[in-house]
Amino acid sequence: MGRDFYVLAYDMSNDRRRAKISKIMESVGERVQGSVFEAYLTAQELEKLLQRVGKVLKKEEDSLRIYFLCEACRPKIRLVGQSHLCSPPGVRVI
């Protein structure tokens, strides 16, 4: 089962919910900025993530953005400054 590359960004209006969402995101991806994560997820992992987030996020106050980036798009990502892309699962950069 293949994994796809996603950029996940959230904005929470409440500190307690923000902390909970942060923990959820840390369990599936790599933090690349304060509330922005990169992750390789299967369709089932993405659905499970959405279920977990749905129990915390208040739709009328908070937001979660999920950007899918295809394999052809990933090499086109431009990084400036002290940054790196998270590595695909099973690949270790030393």
Architecture of domain 4-76 in this structure: 2-Layer Sandwich (3.30)
pTM: 0.84
Task: Report the percentage of the chain scoring pLDDT > 70.
Answer: 94
User: What would the pLDDT profile of 36-64 be if each residue is shown by its tens digit?
Assistant: 999 999 999 999 999 999 999 999 999 99
Q: Which two tokens stand for residue 7?
A: 């950029």
Domain boundary assignment for the chain: 4-76
Looking at per-residue pLDDT, the higher value among 78 and 21 belongs to 21
pLDDT at 32 over 80: yes
Terminal Cα distance for the chain, rounded: 26
**Identity at 25, one-letter amino acid code:** M
